[in-house]
């Protein structure tokens, strides 16, 4: 009888101890440097903040014909963006873009917001800054005046989608649509292009 009592007591102790041990393991460890933990209750290992660099290229179509004798080129653009990430969902972008047809140069700064998800994320941004058109011959008024250049304040809203790659999602491949809208003169340029970026 004592043997049966001891066996039942051991099984009861084991039944009580097992859930307590499992519950203790669920909490995980959080010792070590901040944001370096792995496993249950730890961190992912990737930092929310950082700086990224992105190269962009694609098609650029002007809504209006460029002025006569403006630089002529294919309906293409190239650009680069440096971003400071305050979190995975928010970045502050500084962008420079050159449009070959018409020679327009944009220098823009503004926020960009990114959705949650993996590996596909969506983004929405709004940049503002300078839109510069280089010197060209303007004789359409018949005044005989020579060179002319235009510098306007403009905005560039942006929508896009990105695929995140790499062991820590540091590489991104994106597709973006951006209209460049000068305020107070000049036509809109519609840009549709790709981008490849690396987050440090």
Do 29 and 85 reside in the same domain of the chain? no
Do 82 and 166 reside in the same domain of the chain? yes
Residue range 78-93, pLDDT digits in tens: 999 999 999 989 999 9
- Across the range 157-172, mean pLDDT stands at 92
Given pLDDT bands bounded at 50, 70 and 90, which one contains residue 64? confident
Do 40 and 54 reside in the same domain of the chain? no
Do 73 and 13 reside in the same domain of the chain? no
The whole-angstrom separation of Cα 93 and Cα 88 is 14
- Across the range 151-157, mean pLDDT stands at 93
**Residue 5: CB partners within 8 Å, gap ≥ 6?**
none
Given pLDDT bands bounded at 50, 70 and 90, which one contains residue 24? very low
**Whole-number mean pLDDT of the chain?**
78
Do 95 and 159 reside in the same domain of the chain? yes
Do 41 and 54 reside in the same domain of the chain? no
| Domain CATH for 73 | 2.40.160.20
Do 41 and 58 reside in the same domain of the chain? no
Do 75 and 166 reside in the same domain of the chain? yes
Residue range 93-142, pLDDT digits in tens: 999 999 999 889 999 999 999 998 889 999 999 999 999 987 655 555 54
Q: Which of 78, 128, 82, 83 is nearest to 105 (CA)?
A: 78
| Overall number of domains in the chain | 2
Do 107 and 149 reside in the same domain of the chain? yes
Given pLDDT bands bounded at 50, 70 and 90, which one contains residue 186? confident
DSSP bridge partners of 121: 162
pLDDT at 22: 42
Do 158 and 133 reside in the same domain of the chain? yes
Do 156 and 195 reside in the same domain of the chain? yes
H/E stretch holding 18 = helix 2-27
Give the domain extent around 23. Answer: 1-45
Looking up tokens 């018949």 gives 142
Do 9 and 73 reside in the same domain of the chain? no
Residue 126 · residue 160 · CB < 8 Å: no
pLDDT at 31: 52
| Most confidently predicted of 25-39, 46-60, 135-149, 159-173 | 159-173
Select the more confidently predicted residue: 140 or 176. 176
């Amino acid at each position: 009888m004592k043997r049966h009592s001891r066996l039942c007591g051991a099984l009861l102790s084991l039944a009580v101890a097992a859930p307590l041990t499992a519950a203790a393991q669920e909490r995980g460890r959080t010792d070590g440097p901040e944001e370096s933990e792995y496993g249950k209750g730890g961190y992912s290992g990737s930092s929310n903040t950082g700086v990224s660099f992105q190269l962009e290229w694609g098609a650029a179509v002007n809504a209006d014909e460029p002025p006569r004798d403006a630089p002529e080129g294919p309906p293409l653009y190239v650009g680069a963006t440096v971003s400071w990430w305050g979190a995975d969902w928010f970045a502050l972008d500084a962008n420079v873009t050159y449009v070959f047809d018409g020679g327009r140069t944009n220098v823009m700064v503004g926020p960009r917001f990114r959705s949650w998800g993996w590996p596909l994320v969506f983004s929405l941004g709004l940049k503002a800054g300078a839109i510069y058109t280089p010197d060209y011959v303007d004789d359409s008024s018949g005044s005989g005046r020579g060179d002319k250049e235009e510098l306007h304040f403009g905005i560039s809203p942006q929508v896009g989608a990105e695929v995140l790659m790499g062991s820590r999602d540091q590489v991104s491949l994106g597709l973006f649509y951006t209209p460049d809208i000068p305020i107070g003169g000049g036509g809109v340029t519609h840009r549709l292009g790709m981008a490849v970026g690396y987050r440090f």
